[in-house]
Structure 1
Amino acid sequence: MRSQDYDRLYLSPPHLGRHEMNYVHKAIEDNWVAPAGPNITGFEADICAAVGVPYAVALNSGTAAIHLGLILLGVGPGDEVLCPSFTFVATANPIVYLGATPVFVDSEAETWNICPERLREAIVDRIAKGRKPKALILVHLYGMPARLPEILALATEFDIPILEDAAEALGSEWEQQPLGSFGRVGVFSFNGNKILTTSGGGALVTYDRALADKARFLATQAKDDAPYYQHSETGYNYRLSNILAGIGRGQMELLPERVKRRRQIFDWYREHLAAVPGLTVALAPEPAGSRANRWLTTILLASPDPDNAAPAPTPEAVRLHLETRNIESRPLWKPLHLQPLFAAAPMYGGAVCEDLFARGLCLPSGTAMGDGELRRVKEALTVALS
């Protein structure tokens, strides 16, 4: 059969519930269609309640949230910012926006997040070079909590503030505390492929009211308190629209249900793919104290066997086979230190994240998937790896 003979099975499509339209219709009826209004206020309150922080600022993307967060932490031209190499480019791009330099750090094999041992190595070496990092961006990849006790201890020891990139980790927890609430600033994404969506959107959260006020000020073009348009600082057009915030309000009502379903999908894959040769279901089990939202289920192909003359399937070969069944999959993130954009950036380690990229693939994980669609993925994988 041809790929067009199958309905498209996407990696992580939006999944709307029943209540989003109520908020959107109300915004239109009341003429609140600008980047201001009661849906924004309500959405920010919903985020605060879910994450356990007192202040949230709704923005038009997670990237905007990282950008503003770095500004709030004082990052500027000539500074260096610690960053995992194994992450989406949007984590590091705002460092460059500010004229600063990313210092990339390898992953560890258990959670795939930034390696505390390599992180210490990087901090000590940069300080020895007279280049103490200005901040650390801490990412929870694919919704899996990083090794927080060790990383937080390092940040405290060396007095380096943390910007917590929880773009993929809404609903994940460490020791029953929501991710996004461990740094001086936390950020979330509500892009169309995330566990909850506002179509496009993001948020910055913090315990510090002054930081939240500053973020809101910068996100609305940094307009001074004057009866006319006066500007003393560079500002940005980063606020979320009241209509999209209405979608977010309806989505936030579904967070526990969406996390539960993503975890069920992960468990289905783990059980039913266990016997598929040449395949390891990755990110399992969760380290003690962690509860991941399982935003995406990821797999690792077995390492090539030097005693086997037959070439092992590659992630790209598997991806292309899934495409013949109209199933979307995606390689794991290509490490940023391998990207041409960041070729000159310092890097500490690299073997772990390079191996993950060489062997990994993300599978369809959308919360609207049923068992029939999951079986379709399993069958296609089995053929691809046979």
Structure 2
Amino acid sequence: MEVTYQNNQARTQIIYGETVASMLRKKNLENKQILFCGNQRYYDLYAEKLRQFVPKTSSHDWFIIPNNRYCNTMVNFQELIYFLDRFSRQKETLFLGIGNEGVIELLGFVYHVTTFQAELCFLPVSLRSFAQSLSFVDQIVSDKNLMTVMEIKEAPQSILFDHTLADQQTTGKMVDLLTLIRCGVVSDYSFLKSLYRNFPTREALLQHSFSAFSQTLIDYYQSDSEQLREFGKVFEKAFFQTEKGSLLSNSMKTMFGLLFELGWNVTTSNLHFNFKNFMIWLVRLGFPIVVPKGISLSDYGQQVIALAREEPLLGLEQIGRIGTKKIPTQKELLRTFEAYQKIVTEIRGE
């Protein structure tokens, strides 16, 4: 399937529902110098397979970066710029990013600031990196605290999404579900309810393919890209500023960021939403809902407020509909965390 995707005034061509092999066979790779930029994991898995698609008239090289989500750091940005010195400015170039969200952001940013006669193409390997490629926003973050240092907007010429790569993951598939849940919370309550019906248990989640959601994700990001990118982000970033925040993996920071922003909206705006049932569903799916004891929610709340003063939060008018931007108060966050901890205690039967 090939569709033209538009985000504000920028456009790209998306091909999905095919394998990487079939999509690359359709691409003209003759007489080019090709930069593959990818996480170590995807280099190990796909370097040999991708090499077979490079014609004899073309050359290629790999820039390999760590597997963590926030690999779009200043250090990796500088190293990639230095790495490009080996490429000719006179020859037609293809920048091809294969990997997670960090790869998408890093390569998109480098493409934006370099002077190559180049084409930018993304091969996202998960629903969440596919969503990142649809946002057209790329950031470089600090190596120390992962706060945004630089940000640009850049559309790739093409996005090739092979959903079978996403379906091969286990833990990754759970994090991908968070991307779909965010779409339901921000854009469409009926979609959130359909996720609840389609994936009632962890077994159902792992057994089913996400292939049916490719067009759904495209549609939601085409209408609500900025809101989807922002929801939960301040709460997620606050963990990086909180002592002992390292007790949570990046994926867990993402999950709690989404949970706490949703919980804050439900608590402060009296939204018609059964947050406890939602949490019970997440537990059935295998998500950890207990915040490690070493993390002070009081200190964490202070970091949320500090960040929200710079980036106000998306207030929900109702589930599936965005309202006005707000800055949470200390009292609101205290109520939110107390309500959350009460639900956790009830679910665990303590």
Q: TM-score range by the shorter chain?
A: 0.3 to 0.5
Larger helix percent: 2
TM-score normalised according to structure 2 size: 0.41
Larger strand percent: 2
TM-score normalised according to structure 1 size: 0.38
